[in-house]
Amino acid sequence: MLLELDFSSQTPIYQQIRNQIVLAVAEGRLKDGQRIPSVRTLADESGINMMTVNKAYQLLRQEGYLQIDRRSGARISIPVSSIFLSSHPEGAVVTAAVNQLRPQLELLISEARLHGVSQELFLSTCCEIFHRQKEV
């Protein structure tokens, strides 16, 4: 369980934890059903407060990335959409997901373009990230 936390970052710690876990799931470093450290353990290991870790876990739970079990702690839970719907790209759920991400993507592309990033370079970067996530 490798977490790289930047305590002087603008983004709150619980957000960093959340982001890194989502990334790890997407890259396959964390698999469906896999157990991750309990709130206490992770807090001790990382030298941060239990409440902070808990906040990250609750956030992940709400988003469907985590299932929290009183018996065995926390387990990764990959939302069905990524498994079931990957072959139905026209599905309403997927469309909703795209629409939700669109504003962020628009902003990201704006910043890229204004810094001289061509469409080709941007798209190839996306491809590269996709491939890396699939492979790993």
Partner DNA sequence: GTGGTCTAGACCACC
Partner DNA sequence: GTGGTCTAGACCACA
User: Angle at the Cα of 19 (from 51 to 73), degrees rounded to 5?
Assistant: 50
Q: How many residues bind DNA (CB under 7 A)?
A: 23
DSSP 10-77: SS-HHHHHHHHHHHHHHTTSS-TT-EE--HHHHHHHHT--HHHHHHHHHHHHHTTSEEEETTTEEEE-
| Smallest distance from its own copies to CB 83, Å | 8
Q: Per rule CB under 8 A, is residue 115 in the interface with its own copies?
A: yes
Q: Per rule CB under 7 A, is residue 74 in the interface with DNA?
A: yes
| Smallest distance from DNA to CB 20, Å | 13
Q: Which residues contact 77 (CB under 8 A, 6 or more apart)?
A: 32, 33, 64, 65, 66, 67
Q: Per rule CB under 7 A, is residue 3 in the interface with DNA?
A: no
Nearer to DNA, 10 or 87 (CB): 10
Q: How many residues bind its own copies (CB under 8 A)?
A: 60
* Residues near DNA, by CB under 7 A: 10, 12-15, 38-41, 48-52, 54-55, 57-58, 68, 70-71, 73-74
